[in-house]
Copies of this chain bind each other. A is one copy, B any other.
Amino acid sequence: MANYKILLQYEGTRYQGWQKQESSESTIQGKLEAVLGKMTGETVEVQGSGRTDAGVHAYGQVASFHLSTNKTPGQIQEYMNQYLPEDIGVIAIRKVPERFHARLHAKGKKYQYRIINSTTPHVFDRRYCYVYPDKLDLDAMKEAASYLIGTQDFKAFTSTKKGKKSTVRTIHSIDFEKIKDEIQITFYGDGFLYHMIRIVVGTLLEVGAGVRTAESIKDTIRSLSRDQAGPLSPALGLSLMEVFYEENEQI
């Protein structure tokens, strides 16, 4: 058995998210395991750096798996790309030490949320952007985002039901880029709770629309209450851009 780390891209549009499910619905993990099972004749378990929701895309998801094969890493990649659907691609692969685990060893993640702030159609990006045509106060959104930076309890910004797991996370940065009528919000943190980025974006959009003040975010954080945050923004605007590991584990 050897341990492999892969760098993946996928368009989430057709999938029920990363995690395999008992039902027959299509998931990224399910597709990967099916192809590796076909290749080896054995059951292969694929560990992602984290789940992505139904409809969320990935430019740089990382996964790892153990398997026995005579194939070189390059041959495994070629086999996978031959049998995977064309909306999932293995960009890179390498052998890693036995102990490496894509989720447990992830040190940080970068996500991007894309908003088209206009009524002009974006034919080629229509599957990757959320269309929000109303006027937005970008400065207010940036101010609100600044209050989210740091190590805090983000319980108000997750859909997770009551549990004993910690809802404390560290957001290192939230960057805004405006390119013509598109707003790209890039989140970099040590990890993100279930639905966290989409709820943050929904809340920032309420700030941008003037429905709530930038300052109000401070109270929302303190409230630890999902009711105080904004709505869940649509999955299609969100993409996992990059997963960070210790330097010696870069793919």
Binding site for B on A (CB under 8 A): 9-11, 57, 59, 78, 81, 86-92, 119-124, 126, 128
Interface residue from B57, B91, B120, B123 paired with A121 (Cβ < 8 Å): B91
Asked whether, in the complex, the Cβ of B11 is within 8 Å of the Cβ of A121, the reply is no
A86-B123, A91-B120 known, 19 other contacts, Cβ within 8 Å: A9-B121, A10-B123, A11-B123, A59-B124, A78-B119, A81-B119, A81-B121, A86-B121, A86-B126, A87-B123, A87-B126, A88-B123, A89-B120, A89-B121, A89-B123, A90-B121, A91-B121, A92-B120, A124-B128
Q: How many copies does the complex hold?
A: 2
* Cα–Cα, bound, A123→B239 (Å): 13
10 residue pairs A–B, Cβ–Cβ below 8 Å: A9-B121, A9-B123, A57-B124, A78-B119, A86-B123, A86-B126, A87-B126, A88-B123, A89-B122, A92-B120
CB nearest neighbor in B for A86: B126
Asked whether, in the complex, the Cβ of A124 is within 8 Å of the Cβ of B9, the reply is yes
Distance in angstroms from A112 CB to nearest chain B CB is 13
User: Inside 8 A of A89's CB, which chain B residues have their CB?
Assistant: 120-123
CB nearest neighbor in B for A87: B123
User: Inside 8 A of A128's CB, which chain B residues have their CB?
Assistant: 124
CB nearest neighbor in B for A125: B124
User: Inside 8 A of A121's CB, which chain B residues have their CB?
Assistant: 9, 81, 86, 89-91
Distance in angstroms from A125 CB to nearest chain B CB is 9
The 4 A-B pairs at the shortest CB distance, nearest first, are namely A89-B121, A9-B123, A89-B123, A86-B126
